[in-house]
Amino acid sequence: MIESLARPLVLVEGKGGVGKTTCAAALGLALARRGARILVVELVQKGHVAALFGRAPSTRAPVEVAPGLYTQVFAPEACLEEYALLKLHFRAAYKLIFQNAAVRALTRLVPALDELLVIGKLEHAVRTGGWDHVVVDAPVTGEGILLFLLPRVITEAVAGGPLHDDAARIRALLEDSSRTVMHLVTLAEELPAEETEELHRAMREQVGVPLGALLVDRLFPPRLDARQIELLGDLAPSDPALADARAVLRFMDARRAHQEKYLARLAQRVPLKRVELEEVFDAPDEAGVVSTLATRLGAAPAS
Ligand SMILES: Nc1ncnc2c1ncn2[C@@H]1O[C@H](COP(=O)(O)OP(=O)(O)O)[C@@H](O)[C@H]1O
Ligand SMILES: [Mg+2]
3-class secondary structure, 199: helix
In degrees to the nearest 10, what's the CA dihedral of 254, 256, 259, 265?
-100
Q: Say how far apart CA 39 and CA 220 lie, in whole Å.
A: 30
pLDDT tens per residue, range 206-251:
999 999 999 999 999 999 999 998 888 887 677 888 888 888 999 9
- 196-215 burial, b at 16+ Cβ within 10 Å, e below that, comes to bbebbebbeeebebbbbbbb
Which residues have CB under 8 Å from 117's CB, separation 6+?
76, 79, 80, 83
Long-range contacts of 125-129 (CB under 8 A, 24+ apart): 125/39, 125/41, 126/8, 126/9, 126/173, 126/179, 127/173, 129/39
Is residue 52 lining ligand 1, measured as CB closer than 6 Å? no
Is residue 22 lining ligand 1, measured as CB closer than 6 Å? yes
CA angle 218–222–225, rounded 5-degree value: 160
Predicted pLDDT at 253:
96
How far, in Å, is the centroid of ligand 1 from the Cα of 72?
A: 19
Q: Are strands 38-42 and 69-73 parallel, antiparallel or unpaired?
A: parallel
Predicted pLDDT at 92:
67
3-class secondary structure, 243: helix
Per-run averaged pLDDT (10 residues), the chain, 303 residues: 94 94 97 97 86 92 96 83 68 66 64 79 95 94 84 88 89 97 98 96 93 98 92 80 88 97 98 97 96 93 57
Is residue 217 lining ligand 1, measured as CB closer than 6 Å? yes
Domains and CATH numbers, the chain: 3-221+271-299 (3.40.50.300)
Predicted pLDDT at 107:
62
Predicted pLDDT at 158:
84
Q: Is 96 left (phi over 0), alpha (psi -120 to 50) or beta?
A: alpha
Give the mutation target among 13, 18, 21, 22 for probing the ligand 1 site: most ligand atoms within 8 A of CB.
Answer: 22
- 139-153 burial, b at 16+ Cβ within 10 Å, e below that, comes to bbbeebbebbbbbbe
Predicted pLDDT at 251:
95
Is residue 221 lining ligand 1, measured as CB closer than 6 Å? no
Give the chain's mean pLDDT: 89
3-class secondary structure, 180: strand
How far, in Å, is the centroid of ligand 2 from the Cα of 216?
A: 15
